[in-house]
Chains A and B, each alone.
Chain A
Amino acid sequence: MRQESFEAVISSHHGEIYRYLQRVIGRSGDADDLSQETFLRAFRAYGSLPGEANVRAWLFAIATNLAKNYFRSETRRRQAYGEVRATVREAEDPTPEAELASRQTEAMVEGIVRRLPLKQRLAFMQRKIHGLEYEAIGRSLGCSADSARAHVFQALRKIRQTLDGHGLLPKEPQ
């Protein structure tokens, strides 16, 4: 049985899981609900979690599973992609001011990430935003660590290609 109280688990991880789901889901209300559901599910199983288990990776796995279920609904998926397209169009609007270039790049990256296939997006978020190990990411996605790494690399390739296509990458070696 674990010694750490569940209150301590919430205090340590709720903010991060909330942010992860905000980024993955993109819809604030739904992300709220899923972050709550993540911790309610965790509470139900917390007593039987082995003492040596990595609680943070376990919570990400629960949140990832909930996100996958969320997107499994075809209607919601269409809604989500519709929103992403709107976000991307907005990001693609030309801004003549040079000082806005990096903000444009950032918005563009965010848009590309949201448009990634779900497994790539979840793997990318867990690795590049939250720094989880590939083993844990693989477990949460139901694939190997190598596959999880391949998802992340594929996402990075797409980001590079898209930024390049919009002239947002350096042209000469520095």
Chain B
Amino acid sequence: MSKKPAVCVQIEDDLLATATGEAGPSAARRVETHLAACATCRREYQEYRAVDGAVATLRDEPIPNGGLAEAREQLETRLADLRGRLLTYRIFPSPLGHILIARSELGISLVEYLDRGTSLRASRLSHEPGVELVEGGGELEAIYRELLEYLHGRRKRLEWPLDLRLTRSDFHRTVLQATAAVPYGAVIPYAGIAQELGKASAVRAVAQALRWNPLPIVIPCHRVIGTSGDLTGYAGKKLGLKQKLLSVEGIPTTRRGGTLGIASQAMYILYPGEREYCLPTCPSFDTHLPAPLTRFASREDAEVAGFAPCTTCRPDLHPISH
């Protein structure tokens, strides 16, 4: 077998590239010039052209589609199952300690204070049955930024789509839905939530439901307190966090003896079912039956929530001095 001339060896890559549509214009020109003078390479070029033609036939040959529809159907079924189980999570630092945020395709499903570590092992998710976890990337960044803005008092609403799949029962779900409606800058007693749900005696059950709130901060269970004004409890024994969250909203707290509570006399009050908010000294106070009151830190918060100043005590003319 005769040895290939060096010039032919050098141009072989370009020749192959040109014959198979892979070459740039300058390589193609070099090849064209060479082919005009080299019969051996012309033959090689034609062979690669034939190879390219055979590959094109292969490319254009339809693969039987019989299985495609069935594979797509199976994929849809498996995807539906995965969608029902998949949660994407990330752990972020915050002024309240490390927080895990998890979301499903439907919405945010967990906001969790991690007080036993900074990894997934410290989360309730690591024991949650029927859940598949994936560590998320940028998709949770925006949520985290909004959460930080909220915690720094630069945002009053967290309008995230929520997925309540991690609630423990339908009753817990209704408690959370009622709690989500408590306005920014307001507090309401557990008894108030129970009354709203038409289960006035279920105060302890309401407290228990909020203890397992999978979405603290965004479902503001920190705005639910004892009838006496005591903060009572938060996510187990995290009363300090509850106080911080209330102070972000401008809700004054005070320590009475060893107990943390809101400073009731420094807040506006709203009777259940009323559309007007009052001063705590409103003369019409005595005309109402004892009831679980909603209290507002400021007139602005009460009015943003859709309430008007009482026309008897006129909190608009005589605002509480802080």
Which residue numbers of A lie inside 8 Å of B, CB to CB?
Answer: 1, 6, 10, 14-15, 18-19, 22-23, 28, 32, 35-36, 39-40, 43-45, 47-50, 102, 105-106, 109-110, 113, 128-129, 149, 152-153, 156-157, 159-160, 163-164, 169-174
Instruction: List the B residue with the shortest CB-CB distance to A154.
Output: B16
Chain A neighbourhood of B142, CB < 8 A: 1
> Is the CB–CB distance between A106 and B43 below 8 Å?
no
Indicate which residue in A50, A152, A173 contacts B46 across the interface (CB closer than 8 Å): A173
Q: How far does the alpha carbon of A23 sit from the alpha carbon of B67 in the complex, in Å?
A: 13
Q: For the complex, is B202 an interface residue (Cβ under 8 Å from A)?
A: no
Q: How far does the alpha carbon of A129 sit from the alpha carbon of B63 in the complex, in Å?
A: 12
Q: How far is the CB of A14 from chain B (nearest CB, A)?
A: 6
> Is the CB–CB distance between B67 and A156 below 8 Å?
no
> Is the CB–CB distance between A36 and B71 below 8 Å?
yes
> Is the CB–CB distance between B39 and A160 below 8 Å?
no
> Is the CB–CB distance between B75 and A156 below 8 Å?
no
> Is the CB–CB distance between A48 and B139 below 8 Å?
yes
Chain B neighbourhood of A102, CB < 8 A: 57
Q: Is the interface of B mostly helix, strand, loop or mixed?
A: helix
For the complex of A and B, the 4 pairs showing the least CB-CB separation, nearest first, are: A48-B137, A47-B139, A173-B42, A1-B139
Chain A neighbourhood of B61, CB < 8 A: 106
Q: Is the interface of A mostly helix, strand, loop or mixed?
A: helix
Which residue numbers of B lie inside 8 Å of A, CB to CB?
Answer: 13, 16-17, 20, 22, 39, 42-43, 45-48, 50-51, 54-55, 57-59, 61, 63, 65, 67-68, 70-72, 74-76, 78-79, 82-83, 86, 88, 132, 134, 136-139, 142
Indicate which residue in B50, B58, B68, B72 contacts A163 across the interface (CB closer than 8 Å): B50
Q: How far is the CB of B220 from chain A (nearest CB, A)?
A: 25
Chain B neighbourhood of A14, CB < 8 A: 68, 71-72, 75
> Is the CB–CB distance between B20 and A156 below 8 Å?
yes
> Is the CB–CB distance between A156 and B72 below 8 Å?
no
> Is the CB–CB distance between B71 and A35 below 8 Å?
yes
Q: How far is the CB of B269 from chain A (nearest CB, A)?
A: 42
> Is the CB–CB distance between A109 and B58 below 8 Å?
yes
Q: How far does the alpha carbon of A173 sit from the alpha carbon of B46 in the complex, in Å?
A: 6
Q: How far is the CB of A97 from chain B (nearest CB, A)?
A: 18
> Is the CB–CB distance between B138 and A43 below 8 Å?
no
Indicate which residue in B17, B47, B74, B75 contacts A160 across the interface (CB closer than 8 Å): B47
Interface centre among A15, A19, A45, A128 (most CB of B within 10 A): A128
> Is the CB–CB distance between B63 and A163 below 8 Å?
no
Instruction: List the B residue with the shortest CB-CB distance to A36.
Output: B75
> Is the CB–CB distance between B55 and A48 below 8 Å?
no
> Is the CB–CB distance between B63 and A23 below 8 Å?
yes
> Is the CB–CB distance between B74 and A32 below 8 Å?
yes
Chain A neighbourhood of B63, CB < 8 A: 19, 22-23
Q: How far does the alpha carbon of A23 sit from the alpha carbon of B61 in the complex, in Å?
A: 11
> Is the CB–CB distance between A160 and B48 below 8 Å?
yes
Indicate which residue in A48, A128, A163, A171 contacts B88 across the interface (CB closer than 8 Å): A48
Indicate which residue in A15, A105, A152 contacts B54 across the interface (CB closer than 8 Å): A105
> Is the CB–CB distance between A163 and B137 below 8 Å?
no
Known: A153-B16, A163-B51. A35 touches B46 (CB 8 A): no
Chain A neighbourhood of B65, CB < 8 A: 15
A-B contact pairs, 28 of them (CB 8 A): A19-B63, A23-B63, A28-B67, A32-B70, A39-B75, A39-B79, A43-B82, A44-B82, A44-B132, A48-B136, A48-B137, A50-B138, A105-B57, A106-B54, A109-B54, A110-B58, A129-B55, A129-B59, A157-B16, A159-B55, A163-B50, A163-B54, A164-B47, A169-B47, A170-B46, A170-B50, A172-B46, A173-B45
Q: How far does the alpha carbon of A143 sit from the alpha carbon of B87 in the complex, in Å?
A: 33
Chain B neighbourhood of A153, CB < 8 A: 13, 16-17, 22
> Is the CB–CB distance between A173 and B43 below 8 Å?
yes
> Is the CB–CB distance between B16 and A156 below 8 Å?
yes
Chain B neighbourhood of A113, CB < 8 A: 58
